[in-house]
Structure 1
Amino acid sequence: MELEVRHLRALCAIADTGSLHKAARQLGMSQPSLTTQLRRIENALGAELFSRGRTGCRPTPFGRSVLSRARPLVDAMAALVTETRAEAARAEGPELRVGSTASRALPGWLRRLRARFPDAHVGLRVDVSAHALLREVAAGRLDVAFVHEVEGSPLQVPDGLDRRVLVAREPQFVSLAPAHPAAAHPVVDLADLAGDHWMVDPNVDGEWDGLRRVLAAAGIDPPLLHGDYHTAASLIALGEAVAPCQPTSVPREDLAVRPLRGDPLAVRLLLYARPDTPLDPLHAALCDAYREAAHRSPPYRAWLHAGGTAAPCLTPP
C-alpha cells in the first residue's frame, strides 16, 4: 500500500479530533471505513499509530513521528488547493465562501447575500463543529463563518480574525413529544424532565459539557444519550427522549418546542471573517435573516413578547 495525501489527511484528522467518530464526520466518511483505512495504514508502516481507549485515540510515539512529517505535506497540499481555487475564482469572477453551523437563519442569509452580491458565487460549507469552521477561515479556505459558542465553553479562536456578535445570549429551548406531560405548559421546568433521556450530539463543540453543567446545577442527573439531531427527532417524536433545540425551531405535529424556565441553556451567536472580508454587510444581512427566522417560530415569538431579552437584530429596524 502506497500512502497518499488523503491517508495523511486522515491521520491528522484523527489526531486533531482525538476520535475516530469525530474524524470520520470531519472527513465525510463512515467510522468503519476510517477504521479500516487506519488499520491498512498501520499495516503498511508496520507499527501502531494511535492507542485506542475509552477516552479516544492518542498518537503513539511512532504516530507522533509520522504526524510531524505528515502535517507539513497536508498543509502544503491544502494551501496549493486553496491558491489554485482562488486563482480560478478570480478568473471566473468573485467568490464568497461561507461556513456555518446549523441555523434556521441560514437559508435567508444566503438568499440575501446572493441578492446583495449578484456577481459573486456564494459557496457554502455546513459543519457541526465551530472550531473546524474557524480553522478553515484562518487557513483562507473560507471567507466568513457563522458559529455558536455554548455558554461556559469558550471557542478557541485563531488569531487575526475579525468578529461581530449577532446575539449575545440566545436561549436554548427543549423539544419533546406533544404527549409529554411537560408539553402541556408554555414554559418547562428542568425538574419536570429529570426522568427523561436527554439526547445531545457530542460533535457539537461544547454542547455536551454545557448540558451536563446545567443539569448538575439543577440537581438532576438524567440519563444522557449521544446522537445526531436527525436521530433525536425520531426518538423525541416517540417519547423516548428530549433534547435541547434552537429557539428558532418550528414545532411540528409530532414535536413540541418549549422554552425552559429561567433560560439555563444559552449560546452566543458570532460571525468571524478574515480581515480582508467586508464583515459589516455580511452581518447586516445575517441580522435580517435571523430576525425573520425568529419571528417565524411561535415559541420564540411568544418568549420575546413575554419579555425575553432581545438582541439588536431582533428589534425591527
Structure 2
Amino acid sequence: MELEVRHLRALCAIADAGSLHKAARQLGVSQPSLTTQLQRIERALDGELFLRERTGCRPTPFGRTVLGRARPLLAEMAALVAEARAQAHGQRLRIGSTASRALPGWLRRLHRRFPDTETTLVVDVSANALLRMVAAGQLDVAFVHEVEGSPLRVPAGLQVRVLMEREPQFLSMSRNHPAARQPVVDLRDFARDRWTVDPSVDGEWDGLRRVFAGAGLDPPVLHTDYHTAASLIVSGEAVAPCQPTSGPRDDMAIRPLQGDPLAVRLLLATRPGAHAEVYADLRAAYRELALRTAPYRAWLHRTGNPLLTAA
C-alpha cells in the first residue's frame, strides 16, 4: 500500500479530533471505514500510530513523528491547490465562519467593497477546523468564537484580531417558562431544567460544564444539535445558551444571564497580507446587528462596551 494525501489527511484528523468518531464525522466517512483505513496505514508503516483508549485516541511516539512530517506536506499541497485555483478563477475571497447572525451583513459589505471578487463561504461548527483551513491555504479568513476557558489551537503564522473580547451568552427558553417574566435571569433558576448542548462545537460542552461546577449545579444535559434543540426549547422541554444577537421570537424568550457566567471571544484569523478592510467590514456588520437587538444593546450600554464607539 502506498500512502496518499487522503491517508495523511485522515491521520491528522484523528490526531486533532482526539477520537475516531469525531474524526470520521469531520471527514464525512463512517467510523468503521476510518478504523479500517487506519489499520491499513499502520500495517503499511509497520508501526502503531495511535493508542486507543476509553476516552479516545492519542498519538504514539512513532505517530507523532509521522504527523510531524505529514502536516507540512498537507499544508504545502493545500497551498499549491489554492494558489492554482485562484489563478485559474481570478480574484477570490474564501471565508470561513462558525455560526453567526453577522454573516449576511458582513458578506453584503464585502460584495460592495470588492465587486469584482468572487466570495465563497464555509460554515463549520468547529472553529479549530476552520483555523487549520486558513493555515493550509484553503481559506483566506475565518471568523470564529472561542469558548471562555477552552482556548482554540491557533496554528503558527496566522494573524488574529479580536472582535469582541467577551461576548456574553444569553439563555433561550420557552415563552411559558416562569423565569421568562424577568428581564435578566439567574443561572440557579434553571438548576432543574434540561439543558441542551452541541458536543461537536469546540469547547462548548467543557465551558458549560465548568460554569455548572462553579455554580454548584448539576442539571440534566442533552447532547444534540441546535436545530433539534430549538423545537425542545419552544415546547418547554429544555433551555440552551444562545448568541446575544438572537432576535426576538414569538415562541421563545431570550434573556441575559445575571453576572454573564457564559461567554465567548470573537476572533478573525487571516493569512498574512489579507485586506484590513475585511476586519473593518466585519466589525461594522456585527455592531449594526448588536445595536439592532434591544437586550444586547442594553447590555452593551450597561457595561460601557467599546463596540458602542463608531467604527
TM-score (norm 1): 0.85
Deviations 1:235-287 (A, max 9, x none): 222222211110001232332211101111111212121221122x1122112
> Matches of residues 103-252 of structure 1 in structure 2 within 5 Å?
103-252=100-249
Structure 1 residue 51, shift from structure 2 partner = 4.6
Query: Paired residue for 1:311, among 293, 306, 310?
Result: 306
Q: Is the 8 A contact 2:78 2:137 kept in 1?
A: no
Structure 1 residue 208, shift from structure 2 partner = 1.9
Distance in 2, matches of 1:120 and 1:221, equals 50
Query: Paired residue for 1:99, among 89, 96, 99?
Result: 96
Q: Is the 8 A contact 1:294 1:301 kept in 2?
A: yes
Q: Is the 8 A contact 1:167 1:311 kept in 2?
A: no
Partner of 2:85: 85
Distance in 2, matches of 1:41 and 1:153, equals 29
Deviations 1:59-98 (A, max 9, x none): 467766765675565445324322322332xxx3211111
Q: Runs of 5+ in structure 1 lacking a partner?
A: none
Structure 1 residue 40, shift from structure 2 partner = 5.0
SS in 2 for 1:39: helix
Q: Is the 8 A contact 1:248 1:300 kept in 2?
A: yes
Residue type of the alignment partner of 1:152: G
SS in 2 for 1:82: helix
Q: Runs of 5+ in structure 2 lacking a partner?
A: none
Structure 1 residue 219, shift from structure 2 partner = 1.7
TM-score (norm 2): 0.87
Structure 1 residue 172, shift from structure 2 partner = 0.6
Deviations 1:219-238 (A, max 9, x none): 21212232221122122222
Distance in 1, matches of 2:162 and 2:185, equals 28
Q: Aligned pair 1:20/2:20, yes or no?
A: yes
Distance in 1, matches of 2:173 and 2:54, equals 31
Distance in 1, matches of 2:285 and 2:135, equals 25
Distance in 2, matches of 1:187 and 1:73, equals 51
Q: Is the 8 A contact 1:146 1:272 kept in 2?
A: yes
Distance in 2, matches of 1:163 and 1:12, equals 23
Partner of 2:292: 296
Residue type of the alignment partner of 2:294: P
Q: Is the 8 A contact 1:93 1:119 kept in 2?
A: no
Structure 1 residue 56, shift from structure 2 partner = 1.4
Q: Select between 141-150 and 112-121 the one with higher mean Cα deviation.
A: 141-150
Partner of 1:57: 57
Q: Select between 209-218 and 54-63 the one with higher mean Cα deviation.
A: 54-63
Residue type of the alignment partner of 1:143: D
Q: Select between 173-182 and 247-256 the one with higher mean Cα deviation.
A: 247-256
Structure 1 residue 7, shift from structure 2 partner = 3.9
Distance in 2, matches of 1:249 and 1:238, equals 18
Query: Paired residue for 1:287, among 277, 283, 291?
Result: 283
Residue type of the alignment partner of 1:129: S
Change (3 A) 1:292 1:209: same
Q: Select between 124-133 and 4-13 the one with higher mean Cα deviation.
A: 4-13
Change (3 A) 1:222 1:108: same
Residue type of the alignment partner of 2:186: D
Structure 1 residue 193, shift from structure 2 partner = 0.4
Q: Is the 8 A contact 2:147 2:265 kept in 1?
A: yes
Distance in 2, matches of 1:274 and 1:134, equals 10
SS in 1 for 2:24: helix
SS in 2 for 1:153: coil
Structure 1 residue 134, shift from structure 2 partner = 1.9
Identity %: 69
Q: Is the 8 A contact 2:194 2:237 kept in 1?
A: yes
Change (3 A) 1:19 1:247: same
For these two proteins, the number of residue pairs brought into alignment is: 308
Change (3 A) 1:171 1:309: farther
Change (3 A) 1:311 1:269: farther
Residue type of the alignment partner of 1:146: F
